[in-house]
Chain A
Amino acid sequence: MAKTLELKRRIRSIGKTRQITRTMEMVSTSKLKRAADRVHAARPYAERLTEVIGRLIDPELRERYPLLRQPDSVKRAAVVLITSNRGLAGAFNVNLIREARRQIERLRGAGVDVEIHVVGKKAVSFFRYQKEELAAGRTDITDKPTLEDAMSVIEPLREDFEAGRLDEVYVVHAQFRSALSTPPVTVKVLPVSAGAESDDASGRTQSYILSPSADEILNRLLPLYVRNAVYRALVETAAAEHGARRTAMKNATDNAGDILDNLNRTYNRARQAQITQEIAEIVGGAAALE
């Protein structure tokens, strides 16, 4: 009797958990849809900007633009890690933090001073726990990041880079390949490396009317490019977070279902055994009376 009661209680409790995880799964699905739309909406701007910058950059002029400056030796670098504010997304944040630590260790191993900037509660509490000093810990960026958010993250770093206080800036974020594939990636945003690979570009520049000069335009465009890279990192991470959470919650719901099946089977077996035993007792009792 005690056993069936115990089983009944567990069945009810797991049923409720399943209801919660199923709801969270559905919430994530709808948020994922909107976040993915934002990722796609951000794509044309990034593509055109990269194309135009690639067209303008003349590899020989690299030294003249502060944002393109390739330092001779890297002494100080910044790593910007973007995570989410909320958990229950499986290994999503853990993977991001691991990637960031790998980068930080690699840089430190090479004798570089590393500044750690993080976005998202999960990374902030992790690094606090590790007693790592954070140059910045932002928890005010929601899962609907705006361009202003991106600017507030990167502008101070860009100024430090231009002033020569930083030699490299990396951004660690989740790449949104699909809802199921959201691997962490590291992008070097400064110095800007856009257009470095396009060799055929310089020829086409000649035929363009440029106003004002190519120099002026590039000086204005490069900061836009840096900002946009960070904006994209934020948007992709937000979408990836919902994707990861949906997967995690789907697994939780499925697992809860499996456990429920098992418990129900055990419960029914216990109930039957009990009834069988009662009948046996009655029969036994009646036999004793004869």
Chain B
Amino acid sequence: MANRIKVAIISPEKTIFEGDADMVVAPAWDGEVGILRGHAPMLVLLGAGEMRIKLGGAEERFHVEGGFMQVADDVVTVLSESASTAG
């Protein structure tokens, strides 16, 4: 619990994912970024690619294209017009 962060992936139409994670890897506009607990506040544009949310041994994948990610107080918020669960 102690090392977890909260993650939400939100599209205009609905909230796609909301939950805890150990680590988030997101496709920023200039390359992938990984977010762990204690990350400095950040606001970054996203490119197109795969978002990975790691919790325990499991990993959930999402596809995002455009939008942005906000990191503040160990809460990661991804807003993207085209985000979906990757099959």
Chain A interface (Cβ within 8 Å of chain B)?
38, 41-42, 44-46, 48-49, 52, 55-56, 146-147, 207-212, 216-217, 220-221, 224, 227-228, 231
Contacts and interface: CB of A to CB of B under 8 A. Distances in A.
26 contacts: A41-B14, A44-B8, A44-B10, A44-B15, A45-B11, A45-B12, A46-B12, A48-B79, A49-B79, A52-B68, A52-B70, A55-B43, A147-B11, A147-B12, A208-B41, A208-B42, A208-B72, A210-B43, A211-B29, A211-B43, A211-B45, A212-B30, A216-B45, A220-B45, A231-B12, A231-B13
Contacts of B67: 224
B40 interface: yes
Interface residues of B, number: 24
8 shortest interchain CB distances as A-B pairs = A41-B14, A209-B42, A211-B44, A208-B41, A45-B10, A45-B12, A44-B10, A208-B43
Contacts of A216: 45
Contacts of A228: 12
Interface in B15-51: 15, 28-30, 40-45
A211 B12 contact: no
Contacts of A49: 79
Interface of B: 8, 10-15, 28-30, 40-45, 66-68, 70, 72, 77, 79, 81
Tell me whether chain B's interface is mostly helix, strand or loop, or mixed: strand
Contact of A147 (B13, B43, B45): B13
Contacts of A210: 42-44
Contacts of B77: 48
Contact of A41 (B13, B40, B44, B81): B13
A217 B67 CA distance: 10
A270 B15 CA distance: 63
Contact of A207 (B8, B12, B29, B41): B41
